Amino acid sequence: MGVFPHAELPPPVAAVIEAIETDIIRGIILPSTRLIEDHLMEDYDAKRHVVRAALVELQRLGVVVKPPHIGARIRRFDAASLEALYHFRSVLHRAAVEAMPLPVAEARLAAVHAAAQAHAEATQSGDLIAIHRANMAFHRLFFGLCDNPYIEESIRLHDWLSFPARAYAITDQSALSRACEEHGQMVAAIERCDREALLSLALGHMVQARRIYEGKYLSR
């Protein structure tokens, strides 16, 4: 399954999902926001069955939760759940880096380098959904170097699960600049077969987005 599984859905459903993702990134849809079908139909000019299918997919990915008797909402993390999520993401990222065979084949290294460049170019475009997708594509290729499909799939799933926490960093220029710099450092560390640096970068790369979320939603 690709990094954007909903791309395989009918185009109207994928379009609504993309619109919801964009509004999360922009801060229009906030953590715990209730997603009311009638409002989404109006906002995105979509039919009810399309909106429902989009919500089902986002719930499957963990972006949307549906507590009993409350209705669909964007996932909100409290301090404990955020700590647990990022602890497990760290476990996964460490496992991926430790499993990566070094040196990396030239063609695969070139693909990771191209993905880092594509993300850097997207950040200059101001297209928020393009930045999000380019970032996810880079991570998919980078962690895919571990050649363990179970680790890769777990990382992909937890990238989506953490999207409601990571999304707000996409509009932060300082965080974007730092992410681009760290992507470049990851590529350089692969080139010189520096596993220790790769591990430090892979773990530290998650910190900025987490801090932004904590500052916005956990410090109030």
HEC profile of 53-121:
HHHHHHHHHCCEECCCCCCCEECCCCHHHHHHHHHHHHHHHHHHHHHCCCCCCHHHHHHHHHHHHHHHH
What pLDDT is recorded for position 67? 85
The domain limits of the chain are 5-74, 79-218
Nearest-angstrom CA–CA distance, 202 and 200: 6
Q: Would you say 64 and 55 are in contact if contact means Cβ atoms under 8 Å apart?
A: yes
What pLDDT is recorded for position 2? 52
What pLDDT is recorded for position 42? 96
CATH fold group of domain 5-74: Arc Repressor Mutant, subunit A (1.10.10)
State pTM to two decimals: 0.89
- For the chain of 220 residues, list the mean pLDDT of each consecutive stretch of 10: 67 95 93 94 96 95 89 94 97 98 97 98 92 96 97 96 94 94 98 97 95 87
What pLDDT is recorded for position 1? 46
What pLDDT is recorded for position 5? 64
Q: What is the CATH architecture assignment of 79-218? A: Up-down Bundle (1.20)
What pLDDT is recorded for position 69? 78
* Integer-rounded Cα radius of gyration of the chain: 18
